[in-house]
Amino acid sequence: MKEAGDKRICIGILGFGNIGVGTYQLLEMNHSHIKETSGLDFEVVRILEKDVDRPRPVQVAPGLYTQDADSLLTTPDIDIVVELLGGIQPATDFMLKAMAAGKHVVTANKAAVAAHFPELRQAAIANRVLFRYEASVGGGIPILNALTTALTANRFIEVKGILNGTTNYILTRMAEAGLSYEESLAEAQAKGFAEADPTADVEGIDVANKLSILISLMFGERVAPEDIPTVGITGITPKAILDAAADNSRIKLIAHAKKTAAGIEYNINPMALPLSHPLASVSHEFNAIFVTGDGVGDLMFYGKGAGPLPTGSAVMGDIIEIGKAMAKNSAYDPVVPGGPLK
C-alpha cells in the first residue's frame, strides 16, 4: 500500500464561476499547508469552462481549460471530479457518469443534490466511490459533516435553519435601517448579495433544496424540495418588522423540520423569533443551523453561507477528506450514511 506522502491527487473542476475560483484560490493559497498537514499533494489538472477570457482573481494556465466534459469525467488521470456548474442538468448526468467511471465526486450544487439525492448516493455506493456535498448546505459551515460523522449517535428531533444569506441580509436591513422590502432588495443587489433575478432566493426555492438535503441526512426520509410548503419573504412589510421588534422578536426566514409521532413535519416560513433564541441574532448574510438531537440536545452552527472562499473551504474540505480516504484505500461508503431512504 502506498503511504500518504507520495500521493498526488488530481482534481477536475466542472464550471469555473465564483465557487470554482474560490476553491482554486484557497488551494493555491494553502497548498503547502494542506500538503504538510495531510501528506497529500492536491492539484487541479483540468477545468471545464467555456468562458475562459472572463477576468478572474486567479491565474490559470490556459492549457488547463477544456470544453470536452469527457476529458474530466472518464479519463484515467482524474481522481476527483468537482461539479460546480449549478443547475440540475447536465450537472447530475455528469456526476453519474464520473462515478460510473470510478471518480469520486464533490459538488456544491444544492439543486442537483436535492433533485436526485437517492440516485446520486446509490451511484456512489454501487461504484465504490465517495460522493460529498458539504458546500450544498450552509456554504462554509461544516454542518453535513457533523450530522454524518460526529453526531451519528443521536436520533435527530428537529432542525431550524437560516439557510439563505440573501433573504437574511434583506430582513436584517429592513429591521436595522427601517427599509422597505424593495429598498432592502435593491441594496442587497447593489452589494452583490442578491442576483438580478432574486426569485430563487426570496421565494424560498433555494432554501427548499437545502432543507430537502437536511431532511434526508437527519431523518433518513426523502422529501422533494417542491413538496415542502414554502413561503418566501416578499410579503414581509415594515409594519410586520416593527411589530416583531415591539414584541422583542426578529423575523427570520426559517427552514424547519421536526420528527413527530405522525412523521416528519416540514415547512419554510418567515417566523418571529424571540431575541433570546440563538438564531434571532444571526444577521446580515450569515447563516446558521440549529439542530436538536436526543443525546446532544441543542446545537447551533453559524457562519458564512455563501461567498467564493467560504464555499471553497467546504469544497476543499470534502476533497481533502476524500484524498485521506484514498491514501488508506478506504474511499468508499459501505453503508448509506443516515440509513436507507424511505
Residues 6+ apart with CB under 8 A from 212: 114, 117, 222, 223, 224, 225, 228
> Which of residues 93 and 158 has its CB atom nearest to its own copies in the complex?
158
Find the catalytic residue in 97, 103, 110, 210.
210
Q: 254: burial class by Cβ within 10 Å (0-12, 13-18, 19+)?
A: buried
Number of residues that bind its own copies (CB under 8 A): 69
Shortest distance in whole angstroms from residue 231 CB to its own copies: 27
> Which of residues 102 and 340 has its CB atom nearest to its own copies in the complex?
340
Q: Sketch the per residue contact string, 206 through 225, with its own copies: x for CB under 8 A, - otherwise.
A: --------------x-----
- The label of the residue with cell 453526531 reads 151
Cβ atoms < 10 Å from Cβ of 28: 12
- Give the integer Cα–Cα distance in Å for 104 and 66: 20
Shortest distance in whole angstroms from residue 267 CB to its own copies: 24
Q: Which of residues 138-177 bind its own copies (CB under 8 A)?
A: 140-142, 145-146, 149-155
Shortest distance in whole angstroms from residue 199 CB to its own copies: 27
Enumerate the β-bridge partners of residue 47.
Answer: 13, 65
> Which of residues 242 and 275 has its CB atom nearest to its own copies in the complex?
275
- Identify which of 165, 161, 110 has the alpha carbon closest to the alpha carbon of residue 133: 110
> Which of residues 111 and 319 has its CB atom nearest to its own copies in the complex?
319
- Give the integer Cα–Cα distance in Å for 247 and 249: 5
Q: According to CB under 8 A, which one of 209, 268, 303, 322 is a site residue for its own copies?
A: 303
Task: For residue 304, give the H/E element and its range.
Answer: strand 297-304
> Which of residues 1 and 61 has its CB atom nearest to its own copies in the complex?
1
Cα dihedral 259→261→262→266 (10° resolution) = -20
Cell matching residue 105: 465526486
Cα first-last separation, the chain: 38
Q: Which of residues 84-113 bind its own copies (CB under 8 A)?
A: none
Shortest distance in whole angstroms from residue 334 CB to its own copies: 4
- Give the integer Cα–Cα distance in Å for 13 and 64: 10
Q: Sketch the per residue contact string, 22 through 61, with its own copies: x for CB under 8 A, - otherwise.
A: x---xx-xx--xx-xxxx----------------------
> Which of residues 30 and 71 has its CB atom nearest to its own copies in the complex?
30
Active site residue 210: yes
The footprint of its own copies (CB under 8 A) covers 3-5, 22, 26-27, 29-30, 33-34, 36-39, 134, 140-142, 145-146, 149-155, 220, 276, 278, 281-283, 293-304, 307, 309-310, 312-314, 316-321, 325, 327-330, 332, 334-339
**Catalytic positions, written as ranges:** 210
